[in-house]
Structure 1
Amino acid sequence: MNKFNNYFIRVFALVVLLISSRVFSAAATSSEPPVVHTKVIMSQFLQQLEALKKYMVSDAKFSDPKNTIEISEHLKKFSEISNAAMHDPQLQLESFKLSRDVLVQHIHETEKVYREGNKSYARWMLNSTIYVCMSCHTQTPAADRRSLLTKDSKNYFSQFEQAEFLFASRNFSEASRTYDSIIRGMVKDKNFEVEKSLQRQVAYYARVKRNPAEAVKVFKGYLKLKNLSEYMRRDLLNWINQFEKWQNDKSFNLATATPDSVIQFAKTNLEAANNLKIDSINPNLVNYLRVSGVLYEFLQNYPDSKVTPQILYWLAVCDRSIERNFFFSLADMYLRECITKYPADPVAKKCYAEYEKETVLGYSGSRGVDVPLSVRQELNALKEFVESGGKIKLDLKK
């Protein structure tokens, strides 16, 4: 079994165990009529994932024709529940709307891909759902949520699995302390856990705390650890360098930034990062997280800004540059948002070109011959919509 998927399943089992039981036990003891709210919707999502997990651990089981009916039913319910999220009062708020749309689109796309027969890709998308949660929860600085971990769950799940759950459920400070313990207690043959813990710490200091000075101090401490692999040492040095540059950068202040200066900030930093040739796994992670964090916050504060289409494009570029196992890439969702909501804006054609390229590569490398008919039809519809500047009707139901 793939180690990444194994961790995913166990972390989701922990989420189901803790959140679902608390939500429904509270409803059972209440004399008030049940009210559907965000927690219940999320708990219903998790119920479907709980039912699917026995198939998610194996590509052979997920692709086996004899399991198609059961998997299809759960994915269909998963998709139906996501429709309820579109009407949830809390998720209607502007600060949650885009993240909600991303999650709902991801769920609908997963069901569609499975229905169209690309079962391995559908399984990968389903296994990535927890990282959609992580991506959304770390977009802007956020306060900690109360921990739902119990003494029993701490005894049953590994330290890393606990940390992943804490991080996904927004108990960031406790998650950071747990990741720190994993890193400092580095165990042989557990480089996977150490590497992911280091990356989560980058996100914690770059996105959640936005504290480059503290990050430099912490990561310089990690450099002193014994048994640190050479590639981890290279990443740490690159990340420290970026945090130090951030710490000394007085040229940009989000509080006083104009729409045009935000775009220039993103363009300058991301184009410079893409031109660097460094022998490292993810040398520009700090820079991508910093820039995307600025873009997320500006978009949240000014959703109707004239530069929103450009922000969506740069968010896609940024997310595409962060490895998929770190967070789930929201790039495709942002590109679609740019295409469908702002077809008359010049940047929409740029968004479509990027979306088409990555869609084709995602299905079949560079050949393009394995793209399902329905996906080709969707691409053609989006292309015609953009080329008309939004003047023709967009029909994606074919």
Structure 2
Amino acid sequence: MLLVVGSLAAALVLSAPLRAETPERADDTRARMAEIFASMQVLLPLSVDEAAFAAPENREKVRRALETLSANADAMATHARGDDAGRRYLGRSLRDDATRALARYDEGRPENAAFLVRQASENCVACHTKLESPGDSPRAVHFVAETDLAKLPLAEQARLLVATRQFDAAETALERLVTDPETPPSKLLPAITDYLVVAIRVKDDPKRPIPTLEKVAARADLWQRLREDIEQWIRSLRDLSTAKPAANDLAAARERIERGRALVPYPADRAGLVDSIDASRLLHRFLDSGTASKRDAAEAWYLLGVTEAETARGFWVSQAEIYLETAIRTDPKSPSAEKAYALLEEGIVLDYSGSAGVNVPHAERQRLAELRRLIDAP
């Protein structure tokens, strides 16, 4: 079993894009990711079966996998290249999830630990959907289908297929989900968002979702605004399908964002979703090239924060704040830094506002104060 897990992990890592890194750093990253994947391959199937996850005969295996997951996620975050804020953030997030899961497990709360393990896979999804994929992992083809993970709802299976770099299977699963008449309209938006992220950002294939979304738009039970949004996404996908390759990714991303904003009648509207996802694809590629000036990189991080806020569909992992903070730290004197600060401050205040008033934690106030000092420093 360990040999299978190890070879599976290696296959997953070898198919992961590790661009703009020195050979030594890339080797270290692959080694860390191999350990992370090996741990997840042990934990995920057990997490579906509460009795198996809590069974005494599995205790040592579960504890060892959680400890390994936490240690290697922390190491990956610590050794991420200096400009890779996203990987540092996701590494820390994965470490924290694993540490909390281990604490709950040791407290005799295996159901909480199992939940945290499944949620931790959101970090893998976020990492694997940043850049265009060089291909699916050949050895993880049947991992979800042939384990207890197949018992999960289709939406969760699709997320785990992305986490294990099975993008073709993930697209197929999401197509089944969104075209199933039993899927209520209220569940369509997160599934379609995941589907478009894989199709546009990972596969760079804006044509594939068009017939699927046409079927969804034909449903009689959609509310009017949702139908209008889906119809707009279809038009935007057609435009992307015929667009010429970008000569300058940053300039093209600006154009995509402005085009998406022109479609939006009010801030929470989703008509510009396709343009935001494609803009994020261009921005990730631009930053990954390692050729950006400080000012351009700051703008790219700021725009990524904007697109992440518009496209993020889950509550567990959202990178908007780290992107905005990175924009400020990259070039505090740039126009993008001031805009990033305004958006970051607003988001933090709103996050901690409620019926009892505004209660921003001390650590968050300190973070904002430090960033403000960087911008205002002579």
Q: Name the residue aligned to 1:145.
A: 137
Number of equivalenced pairs: 327
The gaps in structure 1 that reach 5 residues or longer are 1-17, 28-34, 55-73, 114-122, 390-398
* TM-score normalised by length of structure 1: 0.66
1:93 to partner: Cα distance: 9.9
**1:220: how far off?**
2.0
1:334 deviates by 0.7
Q: Quick one: distance in 2 between partners of 1:387 and 1:157? A: 51
Q: CA deviation at 1:176?
A: 1.1
1:244-393 to 2 correspondences below 5 Å: 244-250=238-244, 253-254=245-246, 256-257=247-248, 261-262=251-252, 264-266=254-256, 268-273=258-263, 276-277=264-265, 282-306=270-294, 307-325=296-314, 328-364=317-353, 369-388=358-377
Please give the residue correspondences for 1:192-207 in structure 2 after superposition, counting only pairs within 5 Å.
Answer: 193-207=187-201
Q: Which residue of 2 is the match for residue 233 of structure 1?
A: 227
2:87 to 77, 89, 100: 100
Say if 1:140 and 1:208, in contact at 8 Å, map to a contact too.
Answer: yes
User: Secondary structure of 1:240's partner?
Assistant: helix
How far residue 367 of structure 1 moved from its aligned partner, in angstroms, is 8.7
The alignment partner of 2:74 has SS state of helix
Secondary structure in 1 aligned to 2:207?
Answer: helix
> Deviation of residue 166 (structure 1)?
0.5
Normalised by the size of structure 2, how large is the TM-score?
0.69
**C-alpha deviation, 1:237, in angstroms:** 0.9
8 Å contact kept, 1:310–1:347? yes
Please give the per-residue CA displacement for 1:198-235, whole angstroms capped at 9, x wherever unaligned: 33222232222323333323322433456556554333
Correspondence 1:82 to 2:73? yes
Unaligned runs of 5+ in 2: 11-29, 50-64, 101-112
AA in 2 matched with 1:268: E
Q: Secondary structure, in 3 states, of the residue corresponding to 2:157?
A: helix
- Structure 1 residues 365 and 283, CA, compared in 2 at 3 Å: closer, same or farther? farther
**Alpha-carbon offset, residue 156 of structure 1:** 2.8
Q: Distance in 2 between matches of 1:132 and 1:219?
A: 27
Pairwise CA distance, 1:173: 0.5
Distance 1:132 1:149, change over 3 A: closer
The answer on whether the counterparts of 1:196 and 1:326 sit within 8 Å (CA) in structure 2 is: no
Aligned residue for 1:385, secondary structure, equals helix
- The answer (yes or no) to whether the contact 1:44–1:81 under 8 Å persists in 2 is no
Secondary structure of residue in 2 paired with 1:187 = coil
Cα deviations by residue, 1:93-139 (Å, 9 ceiling, x for unpaired): 98xx34311213545888999xxxxxxxxx99998644343232122
1:319, distance to aligned residue in structure 2 (A): 0.9
- Structure 2 match to 1:218: 212
User: Which residue pairs with 1:136 in the alignment?
Assistant: 127
Aligned to 1:22: 5
Report if the CA contact (8 A) 1:299-1:308 is conserved. Answer: yes
2:151 equivalent to 1:156: yes
User: How many Å separate the matches in 2 of 1:76 and 1:201?
Assistant: 33
